[in-house]
Every structure is written in structure tokens, then in C-alpha cells.
Amino acid sequence: MKAVGCVLASLVIMACMDVPEESEVADDITTQNGLTAINGLNTQNGLNTHNGLNTHNGLNTQNGLTDASPLMSTAAGRSTLAYLVKCALPAGRTITKRDQYGTSYSFTGALGVGAGWETGACNDDCQLWISACMVAHINTAGVHVPLWLVADPFWEPQIGWGLDPAYPHQEGSFFGNIFTSPPKMYYCNGRDYKAGVVPGRIGSGTTAPYTDPWGGTTAMCDSFCTPSDIPYTTSGYKACAGFNAVMTVWRQ
């Protein structure tokens, strides 16, 4: 059981700009493409309005994610849903929805940070973890970037603090709530955000939709966030700016 936990704690996420239709994406999480933006995210009202997405009902119900909704009606919207489902549901879980023409698309889970949302409500904790996961996947440039994701195992035991030597650079941490009005998308710089810089990610100088909650542009996570537990005190962060749902990203 311990060995299985270690495997589940070590998840590689791929991030890049161009996202294919969900029906074309392989189930293997190591092949996942990056999220360029959150389509359907209204800067005034967040993701949970006017897009056919309801956090009070399960994703796999007609009242939770409606067929022919705005998010289902465009390729960009379906890409957002692909990431939403991959973040929310665990591996092996799939939901199928139809667009405005009746064409069906399947969306497969991977990380499981909001597993209860498949058939029930997505509560505050669910929204915070999905938000952190979604923001961590945003990439503003058209390149494939492999990322290593860690989080507090108290909340997300399927992820945990485990690291991989192939991903030596702590890029940064992401947190917030994209479902609120207005949405909150935050980040802070990791210790190695200037090392191994890649286009579209922290350190590259590109404009991103997330902001530093402390009012600057170079805030270091080490200066403001609560570090991960012993013996993983350098892996990631348990809390930042009052948010306990924090995703810390490492890159090559």
C-alpha cells in the first residue's frame, strides 16, 4: 500500500499552448497538453455563471454540466472542460456530454482533487483545489512543458510531497478560486523560478492571468507561504495568502 501511495504521489503534468479536442487526447496524464486560458471564465463573475456549469450539482448530471452549454459549444470551451474534468475526477472516471449539434465528447479524469463533483456538489474545498490545479496548468506560449505537481497530502493524499530528480526546479505555487465573483487567480515564485525558464511559464516575462496577491511581481513563496511538512520541508507549501489549497509546480 505504501508503494502504491508513492506512485500516486508522483504525477507528471504536461503543459503547452495548443490543446486538441478532448476526443483526441490520450488518457495517459503524461501526454496532457497545457491550458492556454480558462475559456468561459468571466472576469466579473468567474467560471460558475452563464456557461452551463453548476457547482451545486454533479458534473455527470444534466443540471451540473449541461449539454449544448457555452462551454460545450466551442473547441476552446471543451478544452477547458477537459482540464476541469482531469483536475476534478480521478483516473479511470469519464463523463460524456454533447455539443449544440448533438456530437458527443468524452472527458477523462486524472488527478481527482474534486472527485465528489462527479455526482454531487463541488463545495468550497473542491472549488479551491480545482482552481489551484487549473491555474497551475495555464501556459501562454505554444510549447510543450513537462511539469511535476505536489500538494499537501493531508488534503490531497493522491498527490503528496514526493519529488522526482528529473524535475529539479521549483517553479512556483498556484492558488485561488476561479468560481468566485470576481475570480481569484494567484501565484508566487518558487526558489528556482529563474532556472530552466520556458516560454509561457513563471519567469519568462509573459503576461499571465494570475497575479501576485502581495502586490508585487517577484514575491517568493518562501517569504509568504507555510512550507510543507518534515521531512519534505523543501517540496512545496501548505498555505499561501490564507489559501490552504496550494499546488506547487516543479519543472525540468
Residue-wise DSSP of 163-174: --TT--EEEEEE
Examine the pLDDT at 84 and tell me if it is beyond 80.
yes
Inter-residue contact 118 to 59 (CB < 8 Å):
yes
Whole-number pLDDT of residue 198: 81
Number of residues that this document lists for the chain: 252
Which helix or strand (DSSP H or E) is residue 188 part of? strand 184-189
Whole-number pLDDT of residue 4: 30
∠ CA 124-148-37, nearest 5°, is: 60
The more confident residue out of 252 and 30 is 252
Among the residues of 13-115, which ranges form H helices? Answer: 75-88
User: pTM for this structure?
Assistant: 0.85
Average confidence (pLDDT) over 89-101: 90
Burial letters for 229-243: b for 16+ Cβ neighbours within 10 Å, e otherwise? Answer: eeebeebbbbbbbeb
Distance in angstroms (rounded) separating the CA atoms of residues 243 and 187: 11
Going across the sheet that includes 247-251, the strands are 11-15, 145-150, 247-251, 169-177, 184-189
Portion of the chain with pLDDT greater than 90, in percent? 41
Distance in angstroms (rounded) separating the CA atoms of residues 50 and 241: 29
pLDDT digits over 131-175, tens only?
Answer: 999 999 888 876 667 888 999 999 888 888 998 898 899 999 999
